[in-house]
A = this chain, B = another copy of it.
Amino acid sequence: MTLRIIAFGAHPDDCELKAAGAAAKWAAAGHKVKFVATTNGDVGHFEMAGGPLALRRTAEVKHCAEILGIESQVLDIHDGELLPTLENRRTIARLIREWQADLVLCHRPCDYHPDHRYTGVLVEDAAVLVAAPFFVTDVPPCPRNPVILYYSDNFKKPYPFDPAIIVGIDDVLDQKRTCIEAMPSQFADKESWQGRYLPGVPEDDEGRKIFIRDWLIARDGDVANRYRDLLVQRYGETRGREIKHAEAFELCQYGAQPSAAQLNELFPM
C-alpha cells in the first residue's frame, strides 16, 4: 500500500529540518510525500525581504524536494503573520484533502515561533474537518481522519515533547545535509538569520555553510541520544544503539489513534 504523507512547516526550511530523513526514506519506498511551508519566509534575512526573498526560498525548498524525491509547496503568507483564521483553516484542510493524506506532520502548538505554533493550531483545527463531507465543497473529504504527528522540539511546557515513534536517518543523512546546503538564504548567507545570530560562525562563506549545517545535523544527534530507548525498542538493541541521528514524532490526540504496531508500520525503518 502506498502511503500519502503531507508535512506542514512554518517556514521554507522547517519540514526539511524536522523530517527530511523520514521523507527521503518514505520516498525511496515509493510513498508519496509533500512538504508545505505555511509562510513564505519573507522577513528572516538581514539583507533581503519581501517577494524576492520569498521566491528565492521557494526555489530552495523546491530544490530540496528534488533531492528528497518529494513534492513541495510554499503558501504565500507573510512570514510572522500566520494566524489561525478560518481562511487558513480551510486552506490547510483543502491541502490535506487534496493529498488524501494518511499521515500529517506539523509543529507542536508550543514551539518557539508564532508561525510554528499557529501551524500546529491550524492542523489541529483542520483535523476532523478533513473528513467532514461539506466543510469545504470543492475538494472531496478524506475517507477518514488521518494520523497526525508533531515534530520534535525542546520545549518543556505545558509538557515536554513526548515521542511516539522515531526514525534513524544515518543512511539518508547525506541527502539531509545536501538539503540544508541547498538553502543558503537560511543557512549559509552571511546575512542569514543563523549566519548573523549563531555564536561562533566562521567569517568565510564555505566555512559558515559547513558550520551551520553541522550544527543543525548535530541536533538530530541529540534526538537520537535523548530518545535512545525508543530507538532500541524499534530497531533492537544493536542497531538501536548504533544509530547516530534520528527524527522523532509525537502523536497528536486529535487525529486517528493507531496502535504502536500500526504506527510502526506507517513509518520507515
> In the complex the two chains form, is A51's CB within 8 Å of B50's CB?
yes
> In the assembled complex, how far is the CB of residue A195 from the closest CB belonging to chain B, in whole angstroms?
13
Contact size class for A? Answer: 35 or more
Asked if A78 lies at the interface with its beta carbon under 8 angstroms from chain B, I say yes
Interface centre among A44, A134, A158 (most CB of B within 10 A): A134
Contact A52 B155 (CB under 8 A): no
From A153, which residue of chain B is reached at the shortest CB distance? B253
A235 to B46, CA, bound (A): 43
CB <8 Å contact, A133 and B43: yes
Minimum Cβ distance to chain B for residue A45 (Å): 8
Taking a contact as CB atoms under 8 Å apart, the answer to whether B114 and A125 are in contact is yes
Q: A79: which B residues are within 8 A, CB to CB? A: 132, 135
Structural contact, B48 and A52, CB atoms closer than 8 A: yes
Residue A131 lies at the interface, judged by CB distance under 8 Å to chain B:
yes
Are the CB atoms of B137 and A58 closer together than 8 Å?
yes
Measured between beta carbons, the chain B residues less than 8 angstroms from A224 are none
Could you tell me which residues of chain A, from 121 to 138, have a CB within 8 Å of some CB in chain B? 124-125, 127-129, 131-138
Check A54–B112 contact: CB distance below 8 A: no
Nearest Cβ on chain B to A117's Cβ, whole angstroms = 8
B58:A50 contact, CB within 8 angstroms: no
Judging by beta carbons under 8 Å apart, are B74 and A134 in contact?
A: no
Those of A84-111 within 8 Å (CB) of chain B: 85-87, 89-90, 110
Partner of A51, one of B54, B58, B74, B133: B133
Task: Mark interface residues in A5-16 (1 if CB within 8 Å of B CB, else 0).
Answer: 000000000000
Question: Are A81 and B76 within 8 A (Cβ)?
Answer: no
A50 touches B42 (CB 8 A): yes
- Knowing A48-B50, A50-B43, A134-B50, the reply to whether A128 touches B157 (Cβ < 8 A) is no
Chain B CB within 8 A of A47 CB: yes
Given A129-B114, A136-B76, A157-B253, A47-B43 contact (CB < 8 Å): no
Quick one: which of B76, B89, B110, B144 contacts A137, CB cutoff 8 A? B76
In the A-B complex, the 3 residue pairs with the smallest Cβ-Cβ separation, listed nearest first, are A50-B50, A51-B134, A49-B50
